[in-house]
Amino acid sequence: MKRIRIGNGCGFWGDSPDAPIRLAERGGLDYLTLEYLAELTMSILALLRQRDPDAGYATDFLDVLNRLVPTLNRQPNLKIVTNAGGMNPLACARAAKTIVPGARIGIVSGDDLMPGLDGLLAAGHALNHLDTGEPLSAVRQRVVSANAYLGSAPIAAALGMGANIVVTGRVADACLTVGPCLHEFGWAADDWNRLSAGTTAGHLIECGAQATGGLWMNADDSTGLETVGYPIADIAEDGTFAISKPSGTGGRVNLETIAEQLLYEVADPARYFTPDVVADFTAPTFAQIGADTVECRGAKGRAATDTYKVSVAFRDGYAASGMLVLAGPNAARKARRSGEILLDRLRQSGFTFEHSNIEALGAGDCVPGVLGTFDPPEVVLRVAVRDPNRANVERFAKEFAPLVTSGYAGTTGYTTGRPAVREVFAYWPALIAKSAVTPMVELI
């Protein structure tokens, strides 16, 4: 039975720059996937593209690709699939072409709804908020990005055109894995069980080392996270697959690490919605079949919906946060009181905030109500504010350092300067009819 090996060397923009290189060199892969995008990332990339029409993609991909050139020369059949294109997949592909001139680079676009957003709203696609039901028109003037999560078919189409590197905009994360399966195995668009299997495999590897021991509840020094290997999905044509990592690497692949990642960012495990299929994560069985190898069988899925999920980001004011250390007796109480003093001084000067938060990190405030409260000998005071008025937030940033000389004894840790004021982008989830979106595929 035909099998392919797909390894994911990047779980987000900012992941280890060495991981893709080591995985490609040691993984025996047919495909290397690189997953860079999150909801916030798209809004950042949208602003970068506004300033420079040739920007708007994950530039780390180019650094990785440059380092992969020797491996690609040794492994000419290795293909790369990545969503590094972000808000500008064409520019990303053109830049990649300068690094590997002989590459056939497929581009998947059509996810960016901003150019036609007003037309879509006028045509009755309200893009109502999935939680509140409010129409997008309520914040339309503040919207900076709107992207539909495309499916796997355009990736498969690019591979079918002969691409050995595929650069996409926003696609559902698991589609980076499902796309190669469609191309290699010829799975039908309504083969829900196999599509669910590919989606399950893609979901398990999409976050990189989270499937191989990263964030594992029982990790310890023996886990070897300093040399953690990134995940590989060895997928058969019938949809059975095994998750492993390169031999000789650190980390762990076992039933616990797989189960933890399977339920990561999942609402209803029996109904995991993607553009390709509604996957049932409660159906398959998992078995440890070897050292750091877990096999999955029996995936089940149901028909895909007729909508795409849409991720919208809109401007929602300004924020800043600052931190100081308080040490000595009653450190937690003094830290919380210091935060109150800071905000009270600002009120006296006429500055209030729509949202504010005071935390004594180290005393149980990171996960309030979960671990209990403590009174350690030192804590980190963190105060954060958010407000529509930038001037208010800028004034907050100037009030932090005075606590060092006009607050409690034992206040320190002020050497990093004033807190930075940053623009806030809020998240607006919505749905849109698939008939209103046209995925596009081209080859350069």
pLDDT-based confidence at residue 142 (cuts at 50, 70, 90): very high
pLDDT digits (tens, 9 = 90+) for 185-240: 999 999 999 999 999 999 999 999 999 999 999 999 999 999 999 999 999 999 99
Do residues 290 and 325 both lie within one domain? no
Do residues 290 and 348 both lie within one domain? no
The yes-or-no verdict on residue 413 having pLDDT over 90 is no
Do residues 344 and 391 both lie within one domain? yes
Q: Write the CB contacts of 425 (distance below 8 Å, at least 6 apart in sequence).
A: 40, 43, 44, 144, 313, 314, 315, 316
What does DSSP assign to residue 207? T
pLDDT-based confidence at residue 266 (cuts at 50, 70, 90): very high
Do residues 241 and 332 both lie within one domain? no
What does DSSP assign to residue 304? P
Do residues 229 and 273 both lie within one domain? yes
Segment 113-137 mean pLDDT = 97
Token duo for residue 112: 């960016």
pLDDT-based confidence at residue 296 (cuts at 50, 70, 90): very high
pLDDT digits (tens, 9 = 90+) for 45-72: 988 998 999 999 999 999 999 999 999 9
Among 277, 228, 258, 316, residue whose Cα is nearest residue 15: 228
Q: Write the CB contacts of 188 (distance below 8 Å, at least 6 apart in sequence).
A: none
Angstrom CA distances, 174 to 82, 277, 367, stand at: 11, 11, 30
Q: Mean pLDDT check: name the lowest of 324-328, 345-349, 416-420, 428-432.
A: 416-420
Q: Write the CB contacts of 137 (distance below 8 Å, at least 6 apart in sequence).
A: 121, 126
Taken in order 158, 159, 164, 167, the sign of the CA dihedral is: positive
Using CA atoms, how far apart are residues 147 and 89, in angstroms rounded to an integer? 13
Using CA atoms, how far apart are residues 155 and 163, in angstroms rounded to an integer? 10
- Of 278, 305, 332, the one marking the end of a domain is 305
Would you call 129 exposed, middle or buried from its count of C-beta atoms within 10 A (0-12, 13-18, 19+)? middle
Do residues 266 and 336 both lie within one domain? no
pLDDT digits (tens, 9 = 90+) for 270-286: 999 999 999 999 999 99
Instruction: Specify if 173 maps to a domain.
Output: yes
Give the SS3 label for residue 18. coil
The DSSP result for 372-419, as a single string, is -----SEEEEEEEEEES-HHHHHHHHHSSTTHHHHS-TTEE--TT-SP
- pLDDT number for residue 415: 74
Do residues 246 and 378 both lie within one domain? no
Do residues 99 and 189 both lie within one domain? yes
Do residues 297 and 338 both lie within one domain? no
Do residues 301 and 321 both lie within one domain? no
The yes-or-no verdict on residue 111 having pLDDT over 80 is yes
Using CA atoms, how far apart are residues 205 and 277, in angstroms rounded to an integer? 18
Do residues 292 and 323 both lie within one domain? no
Distance of CA 402 to the CA centre of its chain: 37
Do residues 236 and 364 both lie within one domain? no
Using CA atoms, how far apart are residues 144 and 47, in angstroms rounded to an integer? 7
Segment 164-175 mean pLDDT = 98
Cβ 183 vs Cβ 160: under 8 Å = yes
The yes-or-no verdict on residue 367 having pLDDT over 90 is no
Instruction: Specify if 260 maps to a domain.
Output: yes
31-34 and 79-82 beta bridge pairing = parallel
pTM of the model: 0.95
Cβ 90 vs Cβ 178: under 8 Å = no
The yes-or-no verdict on residue 373 having pLDDT over 80 is no
Angstrom CA distances, 431 to 38, 148, 271, 324, 398, stand at: 17, 8, 16, 42, 42
- Of 305, 336, 354, the one marking the end of a domain is 305
What does DSSP assign to residue 254? S
CATH number of the domain that residue 400 is part of: 3.30.70
Instruction: Specify if 360 maps to a domain.
Output: yes
Segment 72-96 mean pLDDT = 98
Phi, psi of 38 (to 5 degrees): -135, 170
Task: Please give the residue range of the domain that contains residue 368.
Answer: 316-426
Per 3-state DSSP, what percentage of the chain is helix, strand, and coil (rounded to 5)?
Answer: 35, 25, 40
Domain count, the chain: 2
Instruction: Specify if 118 maps to a domain.
Output: no
